Structure 1
Amino acid sequence: MNPLQRALIEKVGHDNGFEYVLPGDVQHMALASARHPARVRVSVAGQGFEVAIDTGSATLAQELARTFAASPADATTFVLPSEALLAQWLRRAAALSQALPNQAVASFEQQVQAELSQLAPPVAQSTEVLRMVRQRLGQQAYRQAMLDYWGGACAVTGLALAPVLRASHAKPWVVCDSDAERLDVFNGLLLAPHLDALFDQFLLSFDEHGRALISPQLDVAACEVLGLRPTMQMRWMAPEHQRYMGYHRQRFLTGP
């Protein structure tokens, strides 16, 4: 790898979520970030690049493989034929690394402690204040994680209008057993507002393949107005979604 190639990779990494260059070797550049745990190695391959994931979420490679071609020999290595694809891969890897468990929980705990540290001790020690701070910051963290995971687009329609999209929980916030469940990007969907309202009220759910289940309480006229079709389905369903969607589907079947 020549100095110009190294300079190019360093700039692409810096501009797309990997701002640090770590010690590497003559054939690879190791990239990392202070904002997420992923570390990758980039090498030049013909007219393009190869990127190998060194550290990160256990499901990072699986999620990236939805969009990018993994090497037939190694599912954690990706073949990227151009600089533009390298930039897209790094940007997506950085976003996923900030969204996938348990990075969202770690960031959330840091935010809670930072906000509490700015309050006077009697206030910061109040159980009610702590509950309110955790809920507000938790909901913000969950929404951002969902935007990152779904690429800023509705999980069903693909609507890419971030200001109106809603981060819906499959297992509701109030019945989750821990903050890890509450902030898990697999515990719900990023949805357009009308789908969010139906999902939240258990009038819309999804089967184990991500296909829409529409409540019989919604008649033909209501489905037409809402744009609901039996052929609707999630853009993808990861194995990690199944536990939460199973919970939601059971609530859907028993009625809201």
Structure 2
Amino acid sequence: MNTLERTLIEKAGYAHGWENVRESTPERVVMFSARHKAEVQVTPGTTPMVWQVTFPKGPPTAEIARSLPEQFQGDGTFQGAGEASLGRLLRRSAELAMSLPNQAADLYAAEVAKLDANPPSTTEVLALVKQRRGQDLFRQALMDYWGGACAITGIDVPELLRASHAKPWARCETDQERLNAFNGFLLCSHIDALFDCGLMTFDELGTAVFSPRLDIEILTRLAINQPIKLRWLTAEHSPFLAWHRENLFQKHKSPEYS
């Protein structure tokens, strides 16, 4: 790669979540970020301005390939054909690196340590501050993982989106569980309300299942046309959804039996 190509790669990295350069030679450019633990390596392709991209350190290849199948070359390698194509790949991989597998939990642990060293006036305030910060980090992890768009509709207006836990914050046993990006979905507010209170869940294939308490008239008024389905679903989501179906989903018509 010539100097111009390396400059374009470094510029794209800086603009899309890879602001530090570890190595820049004619053979490869290696970049990383202080905001996540991943590393990306860009090497020359068969023609100028076409590059081969690999991730020696996370995020999971399958997650990137799901988002950008047209750039996946197999064997963990992606292709960036031009600056715009490379930018899309770097941006999506950085989003995933900042959400998976436990980035939010690691950030939360560091912030909690600072809070514990210099706590607010009361233990109640400290607990509230910790929970709010944890929920903020969880939302950001879901925003990154789902690309800033609803997991069902694809609507990308942040004000309309909610970070919805499958296994609620209070029911989780550890912060790793609470802040796991697979323990929840980024949902439009009305869908979030249904999921949060157990009037809706998802089956093993990611298709929405509605409580018998919601008849077709209610769903029509909510402008929900069945079936609706998650844009994708991974194996890592499964145990959290199984918990939701078993413990929160309202299986009966009367709430007292749910």
- TM-score w.r.t. the length of structure 2 is 0.90
Contact 1:213 1:230 in 2 (8 A): no
The residue aligned with 1:97 is 97
CA distance in 2: counterparts of 1:67 and 1:48, whole angstroms? 20
CA contact (8 A) 1:214 1:230 kept: no
Residue 246 of structure 1 corresponds to which residue in structure 2?
242
Partner of 2:16: 16
AA aligned to 1:99 is: S
Q: Which runs of 5+ in 1 are unaligned?
A: none
User: Are the equivalent residues in 1 in contact too, given 2:199–2:250 (CA < 8 A)?
Assistant: no
CA contact (8 A) 2:39 2:57 kept: yes
- Structure 2 residues not aligned, in runs of 5+: 253-257
Larger deviation, residues 101-110 vs 142-151: 101-110
- Counterpart of 1:190 in structure 2 is 186
Q: How does 1:61-100 map to 2 (within 5 A)?
A: 61-68=61-68, 69-72=71-74, 74=75, 76-100=76-100
- The residue correspondences of 1:1-256 to structure 2 (distance < 5 A) are 1-23=1-23, 25-45=25-45, 46=47, 47-57=49-59, 60-68=60-68, 69-72=71-74, 74=75, 76-117=76-117, 119=119, 123=121, 126-251=122-247, 252=249, 254=251, 256=258
Amino acid across the alignment from 2:80: L
Could you list the per-position Cα deviations for residues 97-154 of structure 1 after superposition, in whole angstroms to 9, with x for gaps in the alignment? 111121111111222334455557xx3xx54333222101001100111111111111
**Matching residue's letter, 1:82:** G
Q: Distance in 1 between matches of 2:171 and 2:231?
A: 27
SS state at 2:63 partner: helix
TM-score calculated relative to the size of structure 1: 0.91
Q: Is the 8 A contact 2:6 2:24 kept in 1?
A: no
Letter in 2 for 1:55: K
